[in-house]
Amino acid sequence: MLNEIDPARIQAIIEKLVSFGTRNTLSNQTDPTRGIGAARDWIASEMRGFAEASQGRMSVTVPSYVQGPAEGIPTSTVISNIVATLRGASDPGRVYVVSGHYDSRNSDVDNFVDDAPGADDDGSGVAVSMELARVMAMASRSPAATIVFAVVAGEEQGLYGSAFLAEQLRNDSAVDDVQGMLDNDIVGSSTADDGSTDPFDIRMFVQGIPPTDTLSEVMARVQVGGESDTPARELGRFVAEVGSNSVTNMTVQMVYRPDRYLRGGDHLSFLRNGFPAVRFTEPHENFAHQHQNVRVVDGVQFGDLVEFCDFEFNARVARVNGAALWALAQAPGTPKGVAIDTSVLTNNSTLSWALDASGGGSVAGYEIVWRPTDLPVWTHAIPVGNVTQATVLLSKDNVDFGVRAVGSNGYRSPAAFPFIES
């Protein structure tokens, strides 16, 4: 499946998006050739075309709302997302999201008249969502869980489209749980501002303490040293493990912070709604090619132009996302109710978790994973069978534990960190 991801199609998507001149959220929504409305209609049409190959498994919607005057929105403006949903075959209420934003900006975020090509920011991320939707719609197998391929608006004005999408998913009675969101924003260039290249690495920004945690929940994490074992960090570890290999030809570099300094992205909307989310961004940004009017100054070209994109790199990023999404959606869900017994002093460790009652993912058993507390990734896995409690001959004082589910198909879920059993 990953081999079907085509750099030429990535290029065609980005070039078409740039052809709309500007995609500023405040720009024209009815002109057929220029502005965000024209871009919206083209993306929706393409997604519907992809869905035709899915044998009814994929549906496409364009959910919209009117955003009243607010920060970055001087007058009431329609915010429209394009959402392609590939329904899970056995566990459709468990959802994973991949997203990019199709709005663009130049030096002035309120300038909706002049060109804002937005090739890298974020035509590159839109291309990831669209190309993955095309490839997975044609797949001969369905995922066990549901995958949402989203293209959202209003990011540059203040994450409006992604906030709308996250709230819709949270309130959707058909959605049991959003267990992961992958945000692709500025993933189209491998070249730094000094001309050096890094074509085989991608940064992934991973939040620590969830913004939805209460003070008591934060203290519970701190008490057991779980600050780096939040749902987003566990999602990040999973993505880095699955996405870094010879097939993707990429290495995922985990960065333990929500985002770059002075910047933000659509993953934050999902984190604020209590969903695990991470953000991909190219390893070395060129700020002359972001949020800039198209111009030449002292021989230096400014502006977010197609000529600065690396479509092979962009395709490799799409493969990282595709590998992670497919593995997530084919595996059982992340275990719930994971706890560690501290009722007595012992050098053994007893962990427990809830039975997977979803019926999706075909749980064959569970593994207790562990690592030394000073290492960032899991280093060991202990199969314990299809049970809901197990004791291992390791002291909980010395290592960090997690529990992950193993499907009958061999796919493993992200791990869940144990809290003190109440």
Tens-digit pLDDT profile for residues 180-219: 999 999 999 999 999 999 999 999 999 999 999 999 999 9
**168 vs 97: CA distance, rounded Å:** 13
Among 47, 221, 206, smallest CA distance to 134 is for 47
Residue 317, pLDDT score:
99
172 to each of 47, 115, 351, how far by Cα in Å? 22, 37, 33
Tokens standing for 43? 């993306």
Would you state the torsion angle of the CA atoms of residues 59, 313, 178, 88, taken in this order, to the nearest 10 degrees? 40
Q: Taking Cα atoms as reference points, which of 420, 372, 362 lies closest to residue 395? A: 372
**55 C-beta neighbours (distance < 10 Å), count:** 11
Tokens, residue 406: 């193993």
**2-330 is a CATH 3.40.630.10 domain:** yes
What pLDDT, on the 0 to 100 scale, is given for residue 178? 98
Q: Please list the ranges in the chain whose pLDDT falls under 70.
A: 357-361, 422
Measure the CA–CA gap between 379 and 17, rounded to whole angstroms: 43
Residue 171 has φ and ψ, to the nearest 5°, of: -95, 0
Q: What is the pLDDT of residue 349?
A: 97
pLDDT confidence of residue 412? 98
Where do the domains of the chain lie? 2-330, 339-420
Is residue 198 within 8 Å of 190, Cβ to Cβ? yes
The DSSP bridge pattern shows strands 64-67 and 77-80 to be antiparallel
CA distance 32 to 44: 13
pLDDT computed for residue 357 by the predictor: 67
| Res 358: pLDDT | 62
How many CA atoms are closer than 13 Å to the CA of 158, on its beta-carbon side?
A: 11
The sign of the torsion formed by the CA atoms of 69, 72, 74, 80 equals negative
CB 417 within 8 A of CB 401: yes
pLDDT tens figures, 77-135: 999 999 999 999 999 999 999 999 999 999 999 999 999 999 999 999 999 999 999 99
Confidence (pLDDT) at 300: 94
CATH of domain 339-420: 2.60.40.10
| Predicted local confidence at residue 392, as pLDDT | 98
